[in-house]
Amino acid sequence: MDLKKFVKEKAIEVGLDIIGFCSAEPFYEIKEYLTFRKQKGYMAEFEQEDIKLRIAPKEIMPSANTIIAAGLSYNVDFKNNIDIKSIFKGRLSKSSWGIDYHNVLYRKLELLVDYIKEIKDDVEYKIFVDTGSLVDKEIAKRAGIGWYGKNCLIINDEYGSFIFIGYIITNLEIEADSESISKCGDCRLCLDACPTKALEDAYVLNPKRCISYLTQTKEKIPYELRDKMNNKIYGCDTCQLVCPKNKNVKKGKTEEFIPKVTGGYLDIVEIFNLSNKEFKKKYGHITGSWRGKNILKRNCIIALGNLRDKRAIELLNKSLEDSSPMIREYSAWALMKIDRKIGKRILLSHLEKEKSKEVKQEIYNLIEYFDSR
């Protein structure tokens, strides 16, 4: 039996859009780049710091011979009728429209392995969906899933860059596919469009400035970067939306990614009023919920500041009483961003009852910052 052909056929059957194969040999070619990123301080807080674990599949699974890489498009057809100008709405990136892709893609890879087990009872494997220490984009590139775009995303010929990547490390020996080669040419639309200039050069991303990262980090977000986040409360699609390689591509057909609950946006006022339990029940299924309600609420506060609608002042004033110091600090920023005069008056009054020294200092810092602008 042609094992490679079998796996490809079953991949389609379980609902995967793209499948590719590569060797489990070390990724020595990216060692220097990973070292460069570490030295520059470009490591995201979610990343594995041990470079050896990032480049050596056999460190993850000693019996590894092949990596089966898979791509699943989340570029689903959907049009909403939301009037985002009439109500406070926070924008979700396409990656968080529907059900958490980690669960959806992982399940499809599990089903694929189940088929393989039927003909290979000695198969050993490990499945990863954005959870392993290896660099999944390098795996996708080597396996022919797509090439590295200048926006540091993998671009597939048929589906563009709106794809999730997962992979199976296995002891099976399967013929490798040809590595993908970049087709960006002289185009630099993504670099020019990046709101925060996180794309410092072609193929060079400073994640600490990337809005997608900022909406997930627990680190303090610099004031000047908050200004650039607009009403994005999870993720950012700007560099993908301007990419010519995403025009006229195949649409994804995975129904789980259709935003039936969110419509691609979250109601900011609702997020403020939901308890943690209510939030998990209604939105726990989306990718953007993985950091918890408070991080999304913080992002909603930034969105309110950037919308600069005075109707939000009452809501933000109430948030100054929130039990979370982080929420109080960001609410103070948003109040000043919406209206310096009103915000300053509210914050000076709040200082009398604020118990946290850190929050008090942040309020003083904010008043000084906005007064100097």
How far, in Å, CA of 19 to CA of 8, rounded?
7
Q: Are 327 and 358 in contact (CB under 8 A)?
A: no
Instruction: Please give the backbone phi and psi of residue 65, each rounded to the nearest 5 degrees, phi first.
Output: -125, -35
Contact indicator for 335, 346 with CB cutoff of 8 Å: yes
State how far the alpha carbon of 112 is from the alpha carbons of 11, 16, 17, 134, 240, in Å: 6, 9, 13, 21, 29
Report helix, strand and coil shares of the chain as percent, to nearest 5: 45, 15, 40
How far is the C-alpha of 288 from the C-alpha of 214, rounded, in Å?
Answer: 12
Sorted by sequence, the CB contacts under 8 Å of residue 239 that are 6+ apart come out as 151, 153, 190, 193, 194, 199
Residue 267 bears catalytic tag: no
Find all residues with CB under 8 Å of 341, minimum gap 6, and list them. none
Residue type, 364: Y
DSSP 287-333: GGGTT-HHHHHHHHHHHHHHHT-GGGHHHHHHHTT-S-HHHHHHHHH
Q: Do residues 196 and 211 make contact, with C-beta atoms less than 8 angstroms apart?
A: yes
Among 2, 114, 130, 339, the active-site one is 130
Beta bridge partners of 92: 234
DSSP 118-145: HH-TT--EEEESS-SSS-HHHHHHHTTS
CA 158 to chain centre: 22
Q: In what helix (H) or strand (E) does residue 212 lie, and over which residues does it extend?
A: helix 211-214
Active-site positions read: 130
